[in-house]
């Protein structure tokens, strides 16, 4: 490999329509079930990686920048652990400089770890001289964050739980690309600030303490199959019904943990009510909710302006973003 190589990659975040909530292996970050998501356009991460003798900081460790500034230690160390995986795969022993910029608005409640680790997996593997297949790249991104495996793929992606112990079959593949169906997600932000409990810790607590965890797991394979069939048939009502029940069942399992995990706020409920009113009036829009209080509504593009306006007029909703399906992770430049 040449003395110094740099690669820059971009990835969009994704929103799960059938949720991932629980692991079968924490060391390899293997999900307990499959999941199914939509990768988003324009909201994500741009990450450049350079491996070189002089790329590290004064302490010789990887230099990690976020938004042009040195990253906070927790974030920097998570990136360094991920780079160790890439160095082991590529059989190199060089420090790296990593610079990430997020195009996800701050506190938007959109998972930046999904786009962040997808962009990092692609940029770091290429900068290390590796040429991974999409499946290998998705499995690598999964080591950073489970949801990141899905952001390697554009449009609708299915993440497999896999059965192998080494996780080599736990990766995402495409169900329908970003141009296959003209849908939109209207993201209604209902509160500013960070989420109360991070996904990783909340998942672990749900696994350990929720009496509903096993019941939750038992519902997921059927929901993945149903969502896939709905996407292939371009049937929004069918997909929306699965998305809503997957989200409510995930939150029910978390709510039953000890101590209870409650992500919703009054505006979350008000936004759900708005979508039900829209449906009663003949406009199809369906909610999903992640590890936070924000509500994401799935609709066809022709209805997006109406759905976004109704959400914006809902008490407690502070901002609405309308987002289209987007491509999978891509290389922006290499030198
Ligand atoms: C998902 N969420 O499927 C689920 C549904 C939120 C709710 O954020 O521990 O951040 O890094 O693998 O990928 C998935 O959690 O967790 C997630 P780790 P991750 O999108």
Query: Ligand 1 centre from 198 Cα, in Å?
Result: 9
Are 79 and 16 in the same domain? yes
Distances (CA, A) of 145 to 20, 140, 288, 327, 334: 11, 9, 20, 19, 24
Q: What are residue 162's phi and psi, to 5 degrees?
A: 70, 165
Q: Assign 3-state DSSP to the chain and report helix, strand, coil percentages, each to 5.
A: 40, 25, 35
For residue 196, give the nearest of 70, 102, 118, 291 by alpha carbon.
291
For residue 141, give the nearest of 172, 108, 102, 95 by alpha carbon.
172
Contact 22, 247 (CB under 8 A): no
| DSSP three-state, residue 158 | strand
pLDDT, residue 276, reads: 98
172: domain CATH number is 3.30.230.10
| DSSP three-state, residue 93 | coil
Query: Ligand 1 centre from 199 Cα, in Å?
Result: 6
Distances (CA, A) of 256 to 31, 246, 261: 20, 16, 7
Cβ-Cβ contacts under 8 Å for 38 (sequence gap 6 or more):
14, 15, 17, 155, 156, 157, 183, 185, 298, 325
Are 161 and 52 in the same domain? yes
Last residue of one domain, picked from the residues 180, 200, 235 = 180
Counting every residue written for the chain, the total comes to 335
In a domain, 319, yes or no: yes
Query: Ligand 1 centre from 19 Cα, in Å?
Result: 8
pLDDT, residue 108, reads: 57
- What number does the ligand 1 atom closest to the CA of 148 have? 13
Are 162 and 285 in the same domain? no
In a domain, 243, yes or no: yes
- Report the number of distinct structural domains present in the chain: 2
pLDDT, residue 197, reads: 83
Instruction: Bin 38: left if φ > 0, else alpha if -120 < ψ < 50, else beta.
Output: beta
Are 14 and 126 in the same domain? yes
Query: Ligand 1 centre from 100 Cα, in Å?
Result: 20
Are 220 and 250 in the same domain? yes
Q: How many CB atoms are located within 10 Å of the residue 227 CB?
A: 27
Find the domain containing 89 and state its range: 4-180
Ligand 1 site-directed mutation target among 31, 111, 288, most atoms within 8 Å of CB: 111
Q: Is any ligand 1 atom within 6 A of the Cβ of residue 115?
A: no
pLDDT, residue 195, reads: 53
Last residue of one domain, picked from the residues 165, 180, 195 = 180
Are 166 and 265 in the same domain? no
Distances (CA, A) of 233 to 104, 144, 176, 186, 302: 31, 33, 11, 22, 18
Largest Cα separation within the chain, whole Å, is 63
In a domain, 12, yes or no: yes
Last residue of one domain, picked from the residues 125, 145, 180 = 180
Are 58 and 132 in the same domain? yes
Are 165 and 33 in the same domain? yes
190: domain CATH number is 3.30.70.890
pLDDT, residue 109, reads: 61
Distances (CA, A) of 123 to 78, 88, 97, 151, 247: 16, 16, 11, 14, 32
In a structure prediction context, what are the per-residue pLDDT tens digits for the chain, which is 335 residues long?
555 689 999 999 999 999 999 999 999 999 999 999 999 999 999 999 999 999 999 898 999 999 999 999 999 999 999 999 999 999 999 999 999 999 876 555 676 899 999 999 999 999 999 999 999 999 999 999 999 999 999 999 999 999 999 999 999 999 999 999 999 999 999 986 555 788 999 999 999 999 999 999 999 999 999 999 999 999 999 999 999 999 999 999 999 999 999 999 999 999 999 999 999 999 999 999 999 999 999 999 999 999 999 999 999 999 999 999 999 999 999 99
Q: Which residue's alpha carbon is at the smallest distance from atom 14 of ligand 1?
A: 147
Q: Which helix (H) or strand (E) holds 183?
A: strand 183-189
pLDDT, residue 89, reads: 97
């Amino acid at each position: 490999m040449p003395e110094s190589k740099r690669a820059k990659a971009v990835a969009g975040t994704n929103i799960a329509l059938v949720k991932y909530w629980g692991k079968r292996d924490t060391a390899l970050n293997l999900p307990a079930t499959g999941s199914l998501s939509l990768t988003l356009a324009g909201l994500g991460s741009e990450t450049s990686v350079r491996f070189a003798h002089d790329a590290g900081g004064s302490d010789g460790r990887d230099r990690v920048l976020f938004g042009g500034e040195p990253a906070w230690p927790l974030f920097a160390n998570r990136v360094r652990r991920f780079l160790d995986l890439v160095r082991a795969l590529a059989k190199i022993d060089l420090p790296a400089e990593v610079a990430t910029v997020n195009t996800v608005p701050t506190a938007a409640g959109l998972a930046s770890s999904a786009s962040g680790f997808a962009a990092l997996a692609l940029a770091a593997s290429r900068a290390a001289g590796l040429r991974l297949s999409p499946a290998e790249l998705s499995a690598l991104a999964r080591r950073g964050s489970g949801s990141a495996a899905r952001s390697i793929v554009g449009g609708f992606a299915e993440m497999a739980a896999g059965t192998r112990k080494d996780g080599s079959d736990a990766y995402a593949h495409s169900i329908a690309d970003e141009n296959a169906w003209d849908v939109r997600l209207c993201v209604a932000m209902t509160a500013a600030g960070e989420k109360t409990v991070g996904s990783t810790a909340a998942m672990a607590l749900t696994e350990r303490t929720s009496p509903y965890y096993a019941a939750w797991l038992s519902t997921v394979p059927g929901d993945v199959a149903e969502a896939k069939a709905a996407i292939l048939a371009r049937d929004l009502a069918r997909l929306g019904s699965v998305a809503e029940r997957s989200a409510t069942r995930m939150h029910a399992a978390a709510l039953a943990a000890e101590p209870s995990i409650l992500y919703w706020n009054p505006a979350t409920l008000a936004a759900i009510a708005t979508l039900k009113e829209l449906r009663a009036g003949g406009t199809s829009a369906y909610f999903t909710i992640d590890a936070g209080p924000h509500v994401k509504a799935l609709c066809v593009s022709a209805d997006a302006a109406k759905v976004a306006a109704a959400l914006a007029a809902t008490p407690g909703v502070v901002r609405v973003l309308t987002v289209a399906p987007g491509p999978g992770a891509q290389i922006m430049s290499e030198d």
